[in-house]
């Protein structure tokens, strides 16, 4: 029987099984975030004496405060002193009251300006794995449209995409009903869209890769996660005709369709970069459409950068990206190493229960590459699909055997290397 949809590891079963675990552990998530956020390095102060203060007087003052560990800062322009952890504020205030002191302050942590302030970003291990924090200083996807050809996109969650429909989420297309729109009733497309471009730096929820790009929803799969080949073909062609720069296809099947390949080639010839999931069967065969020549086929790796046991691989594989494994906690954050994004489950016919879900699969790996492709396109609008593919391949982190190999392709997508190419 034809397999139509390459979804998260068990798109229906996994999401529902993880649902209760994530909700039950919501207080644990808060404690993880709280315990991981210290604004300064414990037990250190930066102290600067006024120019008129002699070295001997400075040493005497340190002794009076019971400080013995003193190191010179760069060019001795200030000093780094060690104090008891937990007394940083008290000691800084005490030093600051002395007439000899120009300033005394904790040794604060600083981050890149582009590091997101989203509440759950510290749990998105997948973004540092592909060097997203550095990449965001170079590109955030502005001016690019990414089509999510999937179950549609629901823009009405708590995190949203800008201000919802009409802002960064465009009015898309429902290839099933041949109407404008494309509201997701299943969650898969919304999760995929979140990885590509979830609203970022809004202080809540999770971050997305190309968070200034436009999202074009194209609904080709129903609420069961399946769809006809004709729906997918029509959706790809519609997206190519309606402004898509990048198309993500987190779906697939084992039968080679010439009509589907024609649709992919049509998009390619119109200058659209097409990215697709390699499949979740753990086989040495990449499924279609990912296996087509003009698709970038993406497999999935875990936190430790090894190929997951479910990811397909083979001669058509181009790249790998984080797909995760909820049965492992390699990063030790207390949660399974799935990909964390905002999604929903159905509550009644028209209701949606929103939360943040850990999901896995090559369906989640593919949008990582699509999002990075959008960052490249934003930085180089003149690049077509061949140039974008070349950048992704040449800048990927080589894994496995040196050079291209059938398990990792050209390697793990590297967002910062790609936008700096």
Q: Where are the domains of the chain?
A: 42-108, 115-419
Q: Please enumerate in sequence order all residues whose Cβ is within 8 A of that of 310, keeping only pairs 6 or more positions apart, or say none.
A: 9, 280, 281, 282, 300, 323, 360, 361, 362
Contacts of 13 (CB under 8 A, 6+ apart): none
Residues 6+ apart with CB under 8 A from 332: none
Query: At residue 17, does pLDDT exceed 70?
Result: no
Lowest mean pLDDT among 36-40, 102-106, 339-343, 345-349: 36-40
Q: Give the confidence band of 258 by pLDDT, cuts at 50, 70, 90.
A: confident
User: Residue 386's pLDDT is what?
Assistant: 98
Q: What CATH topology corresponds to 115-419? A: Rossmann fold (3.40.50)
Question: Average pLDDT in the 173-184 region?
Answer: 94
Q: Each residue of 385-398: pLDDT tens digit?
A: 999 999 999 999 99
Q: Among 223-237, 349-363, 374-388, which range has the highest average pLDDT?
A: 374-388
Copy the structure tokens of residue 208.
């997305």
Q: Which of 187, 257, 311, 363 is catalytic?
A: 363
Q: What is the mean pLDDT of residues 297-326?
A: 97
Rounded Cα distance, 22 and 357, in Å: 7
Active site residue 363: yes
| Residues whose CB is less than 8 angstroms from the CB of residue 38 and which lie 6 or more positions away in sequence, other chains included | 109
Q: Which of 150, 159, 184, 245 is catalytic?
A: 150
Which among 38, 47, 34 has a CA at the least distance from the CA of 109? 38
Strands 246-249 vs 214-219: parallel, antiparallel or unpaired = unpaired
**Which member of 188, 245, 257, 414 is catalytic?**
188
Cis-peptide into 349, omega within 30 deg: no
Compute the radius of gyration of the chain from its Cα atoms: 25
What pLDDT score does 165 carry? 56
CATH 3.30.70.1510 fits 42-108, yes or no: yes
189: helix, strand or coil = helix
The answer, yes or no, to whether residue 119 has pLDDT greater than 50, is yes
Is the predicted pLDDT of residue 409 greater than 90, yes or no? yes
| Mean of the per-residue pLDDT values of the chain | 87
Q: What is the mean pLDDT of residues 300-315?
A: 97
């Amino acid at each position: 029987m034809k397999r139509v949809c390459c979804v998260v590891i068990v798109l229906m079963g996994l999401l529902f099984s993880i649902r209760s675990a994530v909700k039950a552990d919501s207080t644990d998530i808060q404690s993880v975030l709280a315990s991981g956020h210290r604004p300064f390095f414990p037990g250190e102060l930066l102290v600067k004496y006024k120019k008129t203060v002699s070295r001997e007087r400075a040493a005497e003052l340190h002794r009076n405060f019971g400080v013995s560990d003193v190191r010179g800062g760069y060019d001795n322009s200030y000093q780094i002193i060690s104090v008891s952890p937990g007394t940083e504020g008290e000691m800084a205030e005490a030093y600051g009251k002395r007439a000899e002191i120009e300033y005394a302050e904790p040794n604060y942590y600083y981050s890149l300006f582009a590091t997101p302030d989203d509440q759950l970003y510290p749990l998105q291990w997948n973004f540092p794995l592909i060097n997203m924090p550095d990449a965001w200083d170079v590109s955030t996807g502005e001016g690019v449209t990414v089509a999510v050809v999937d179950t549609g996109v629901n823009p009405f969650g708590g995190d949203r995409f800008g201000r919802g429909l009409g802002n960064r989420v465009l009015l898309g297309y429902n290839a099933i009903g041949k109407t404008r729109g494309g509201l997701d009733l299943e969650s898969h497309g919304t999760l995929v869209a979140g990885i590509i471009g979830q609203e970022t730096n809004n202080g809540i929820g999770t971050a997305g890769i190309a968070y200034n790009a436009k999202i074009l929803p194209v609904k080709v799969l129903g609420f069961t996660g399946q769809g006809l080949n004709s729906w997918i073909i029509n959706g790809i062609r519609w997206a190519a005709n309606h402004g898509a720069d990048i198309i993500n296809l987190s779906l697939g099947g084992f039968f080679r369709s010439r009509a589907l390949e024609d649709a992919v080639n049509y998009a390619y010839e119109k200058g659209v970069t097409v990215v697709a999931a390699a499949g979740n069967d753990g086989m040495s065969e990449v499924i279609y459409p990912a296996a087509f020549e003009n698709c970038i086929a993406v497999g999935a790796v875990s936190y430790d950068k090894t190929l997951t046991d479910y990811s397909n691989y083979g001669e058509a594989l181009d790249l790998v990206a984080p797909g995760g494994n909820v049965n492992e906690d390699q990063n030790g954050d207390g949660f399974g190493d799935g990909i964390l994004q905002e999604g929903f489950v159905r509550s009644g016919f028209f209701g949606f229960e929103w939360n943040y879900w850990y999901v896995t699969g090559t369906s989640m790996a593919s949008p990582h590459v699509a999002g990075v492709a959008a960052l490249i396109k934003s930085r180089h609008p003149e690049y077509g699909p061949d140039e974008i593919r070349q950048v992704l391949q040449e800048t990927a982190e080589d894994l496995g055997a040196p050079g291209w190999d059938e398990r990792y392709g050209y390697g793990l997508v590297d967002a910062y290397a790609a936008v700096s190419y």
